[in-house]
Structure 1
Amino acid sequence: MKFGIRDEEFIRGKVPMTKAEIRAMVMVQADIQPGDTVADIGAGTGSISIEAALAASKGDVYSIERNPEGIQLIRENAEKFGCSNIHPIKGVAPDAMDGLPPLDVIIIGGSSGNMHEILNRAETLLSKGGRIVLTAVTAETTGEIVKEFEGRPFRLEGFQMQINRLRKLGHYHLYNPLSPVFIFTAEKI
């Protein structure tokens, strides 16, 4: 399956959206299988939820987002891409995670300052071999993630991505840098 749907394909508003290149790498790290059950926490416009739903074609994706505009965009994008297996949940994690079924993959793009509690809940929802993929753009969040996984039954890996997009300027081509993003993957052991 090809990941990294073009950004322009999504219905967008003022809600943040993970860029295509980062989304593609998140999906590679998530390793979603057709029958998986996935939670996308801090789902924004639903761009990652869409990619996850396409990968989990026989599974389900629960998109948790606190912003009402985001919930509407998730619904609109799910309809546009024909993803009837997306279930938008308006709320803030971890409370919005109440009632979720056992999960195979959890993708965390935003924690609203509740990282510790979200990971506590994630630990109980994931079975052995389940994966958490987290993205972070601030130094504070990266440090928090590393610290939060100390002593938990997970194998944590991470790396930073820096994307520069080519653009034409007159007769020349320049690279426009996007903000660097840290991607962490934690597998439950």
Structure 2
Amino acid sequence: MSEIVSVSGGPTKPEIIAVSLSKLGLQDGDRFADVGCGTGSVSIEAARIARNLTIYAIDARKEALLATEANFKSFGIENARVLAGEASELLGSGGSIDSIDCAFVGGTKNIDAILEKLVEKKTRSIVVNAVRIETVVRTIEAMKKLGIFDEVVHISVSRSAPIAGETMFKPENPVYIVVGKKQA
């Protein structure tokens, strides 16, 4: 099995990816944006869930784009575009992305503008992962203003580790998963 090429801040932990993608409700043939794609690990798992997924992996960091491209190649992800730049600009009306069905936002720079652009594209579901309380609050407020706020899920994961011949649990940083859904 292939190993994920890492960058600072990633990859997103598998447990967080599982819950985040379950909240997105991906469907076969969806157009999926992975904003702040980092290593591309969320996109790789999304492609395992939904067939014929079109992936737009977006990041402003060169190291992240290189890692994503390497990981997509290693995991055989073909129907993907890796895009360099600020997500709010790439998702804007002058950008090359026509529409998005579902979006995962792992990078929260310009979160208000990103959410606004995703709503303009009539995105069905949006999941934002955040570790900072201020980001969670800003995201909730922005989603409420846009009329898409659904829920926040707080996840704490601990992993087993050996200690004195026995087993203990070492906690990972908690993550907030903020969910937005297009209102009917």
Q: Same fold (TM over 0.5)?
A: yes
Percentage of pairs with the same residue: 28
1:100 corresponding residue in structure 2: 97
Would the aligned equivalents of 1:15 and 1:69 in 2 still touch at CA under 8 Å? no
The alignment of Structure 1 onto Structure 2 pairs a total of residues equal to 180
Would the aligned equivalents of 2:116 and 2:146 in 1 still touch at CA under 8 Å? no
Would the aligned equivalents of 1:154 and 1:187 in 2 still touch at CA under 8 Å? yes
Residues 1:145 and 2:143 aligned together: no
Q: Higher strand fraction: Structure 1 or Structure 2?
A: 1
DSSP 3-state at the match of 1:185: strand
Structure 2 unmatched ranges of 5 or more = none
1:126 corresponding residue in structure 2: 122
- Choose from 82, 85, 98 the match for 2:79: 85
Q: 1:26 is aligned with what amino acid?
A: S
Cα distance change, pair 14–134 in 1 and its aligned pair in 2 (3 A): closer
Runs (4 or more) in structure 1 with deviation over 3 Å come to: none
Alpha-carbon distance between aligned partners in 1 of 2:112 and 2:161, rounded to the nearest angstrom: 40
Residues 1:169 and 2:169 aligned together: no
DSSP 3-state at the match of 1:88: strand
CA deviation map 1:28-69 (0-9, x unaligned): 111111211100101101110111222232120100011111
Residues 1:12 and 2:9 aligned together: no
Structure 1 unmatched ranges of 5 or more = 1-5
Displacement of 1:17 in angstroms is: 1.7
CA RMSD of aligned residues (A): 1.6
DSSP 3-state at the match of 1:149: helix
DSSP 3-state at the match of 2:151: strand
CA deviation map 1:2-26 (0-9, x unaligned): xxxx9x8312244522111111111
Alpha-carbon distance between aligned partners in 2 of 1:168 and 1:179, rounded to the nearest angstrom: 19
Provide the TM-score with structure 1 as the length reference: 0.89
1:3 corresponding residue in structure 2: none
Displacement of 1:156 in angstroms is: 1.6
Would the aligned equivalents of 1:107 and 1:134 in 2 still touch at CA under 8 Å? yes
